[in-house]
Structure 1
């Protein structure tokens, strides 16, 4: 549970310090659950600065720090053709960290070793329940 966007970013920054490259991080959760805040913390933790923003219109943003992060927004992806048009498959196996918002839209295309980050509302407006599935490191 995090109590603010800053706490969400701090959690992501701790995870970032353990990334080796090649990880696929798949977010689930509704609008406003903190997916971009988590990504911002991840990117800051990798030394790329406070540059992360939602790739809603671009579909993909790239950030370079200790590792390169490809930040996908799959909100509007409805078909395999849509997914192919993003270039998603070209990034698998490149050693880049793939961060995928709205991963539920492409669940059948995600690799077996995907780390799922489930986000849902907490008891207050600022709280977020964050469950990380498939992560083998410490947080």
Structure 2
């Protein structure tokens, strides 16, 4: 599926649609080049889920947790990982039990596309806007945003 995102408002609206159907155990794998809008889309999802306030990029902290949302959401940026085994060191599994995961640079963590509850989104820059190329795992088939 392809979604045109011509501006920030469209990116925010797409994020809100994802948030509306997000469940514990879901993974939203955000792919794309630097500056493609991965963090912007993650912010749209978090705001759509009801988060009020700033949403810092987890580039340096690697994991930001939002436990008060329903479902709780973990926003992770794996850009700085050099090997997927480092995921164990940061304790990602401790966060994921009852939460949804927004994963930037998922390949650096070993990828999540093999998981049934993975929604893979590749963002590409087109002019001033973006295009989202969406691939849904089986658990997402009936609730695509």
Same fold (TM over 0.5): yes
Q: What secondary structure is seen at the aligned counterpart in 2 of 1:112? A: coil
Match of 2:100 among 91, 97, 101: 97
Please list every run of 5 or more consecutive structure 1 residues that lacks an aligned counterpart in the other structure: none
Is contact 1:43–1:51 with CA below 8 Å preserved after alignment? no
1:85-115 Cα deviation digits (max 9, x unpaired): 22123334x1201111011212356652221
Q: 1:81: how far off? A: 3.6
Q: For residues 60 and 99 of structure 2, what CA distance do their matches in structure 1 show?
A: 21
Match of 1:88 among 81, 92, 99: 92
CA 1:84 to 1:109, structure 2 compared with 1: closer, same or farther past 3 Å?
A: farther
Please list every run of 5 or more consecutive structure 2 residues that lacks an aligned counterpart in the other structure: none
Is contact 2:113–2:119 with CA below 8 Å preserved after alignment? no
Return structure 1 stretches of 4+ with deviation > 6 angstroms. none
Please give the TM-score of this superposition, normalised by the length of structure 1.
Answer: 0.87
Match of 1:120 among 109, 124, 129: 124
Please give the TM-score of this superposition, normalised by the length of structure 2.
Answer: 0.84
